Homo-oligomer: A and B are copies of this chain.
Amino acid sequence: MKKKQARQTQARLCDTMAHTSPSEAPSSLTDPRAIKSGQALRAAMLRLLERKPLEQITVREIAAEAGVHYATFFRHHPTKEALLDDVAADQIDRLVTLTLPVLDEAGSDASFLALATYVDEHRSLWTTLLTGGAASAMRAELLRISQRVAAERAPTESYIPVELATICTVSLIVEILSWWLRQPAEALSVAQAARILHRLVLSSAITGTLEALA
């Protein structure tokens, strides 16, 4: 969407971007065919992301990989970026619903362990998401959710703005996880990774600001 509108700087400011699909997206509707296509597209995207970064993936490839016609792609997502966002949000949702409760019940220590464990259990997928072409989408999505959570949890005031604190926390977590996943398979155990996360992330948060978040 962004791309299209931006590209047309010349003239043409007023095409209403009329997509084939009438209202929003047929995704997650009741039609079994639509559901199947949607799933196939997500799966195809993930499969391709294992092999190359997003910009090298064409919509045509995704469709072909999904065994779906090219035009059908656009009946589900306006751009490949949108599909990626969907996939990212999807995966992050799962992660959050698994680790957030732990944070509340058992504290940040256990939470980091849960996080590392979950990522380790889906190592291949998360390697794709964090070190492949999806990285920046993941980062953005994570940040979006974290900001929401941080806002809700009304953290103790500090001289460091919450927004910035959140950015730093998310950034550190992402960088550490990415680095971990880039290492040879079992170079660092889950416990070690959790420990590093704990130390690096919380040390930034020594002021107390970030504890609510992480």
Is A3 a contact of B56 with CB atoms below 8 Å? yes
In the assembled complex, A163 has its CB within 8 A of some CB on chain B: yes
Interface of chain A residues 67 through 110 with chain B (CB within 8 A)? none
Interface string of A123-136 (1 = CB under 8 A from B): 00000000000001
Interface of chain A residues 6 through 38 with chain B (CB within 8 A)? 6-12, 14-16, 18
Q: How far is the CB of A101 from chain B (nearest CB, A)?
A: 27
A160 in complex: contacting residue of B52, B136, B200, CB < 8 Å: B200
A171 in complex: contacting residue of B4, B8, B172, CB < 8 Å: B172
Is A204 a contact of B172 with CB atoms below 8 Å? yes
Interface string of A150-187 (1 = CB under 8 A from B): 00000000001001100110011001100100000000
Is A16 a contact of B8 with CB atoms below 8 Å? no
Is B5 a contact of A56 with CB atoms below 8 Å? yes
What is the chain B residue whose CB lies nearest that of A161? B179
A12 in complex: contacting residue of B6, B14, B160, CB < 8 Å: B14
Copies in the complex: 4
Q: How far is the CB of A67 from chain B (nearest CB, A)?
A: 18
A203 in complex: contacting residue of B4, B56, B204, CB < 8 Å: B204
Q: How far is the CA of A18 from the CA of B167 in the complex (A)?
A: 42
Q: Which residues of B contact A18 (CB under 8 A)?
A: 10-12
Q: Which residues of B contact A16 (CB under 8 A)?
A: 11-12
In the assembled complex, A40 has its CB within 8 A of some CB on chain B: no
Task: Given A12-B16, A200-B168, check contact A7 B175 (CB 8 Å).
Answer: no
Q: Which residues of B contact A55 (CB under 8 A)?
A: 3, 8
In the assembled complex, A140 has its CB within 8 A of some CB on chain B: no
Q: How far is the CA of A121 from the CA of B167 in the complex (A)?
A: 24
Q: Which residues of B contact A10 (CB under 8 A)?
A: 18
Q: Which residues of B contact A176 (CB under 8 A)?
A: 164, 168
Q: How far is the CA of A106 from the CA of B73 in the complex (A)?
A: 58
Q: Which residues of B contact A3 (CB under 8 A)?
A: 55-56
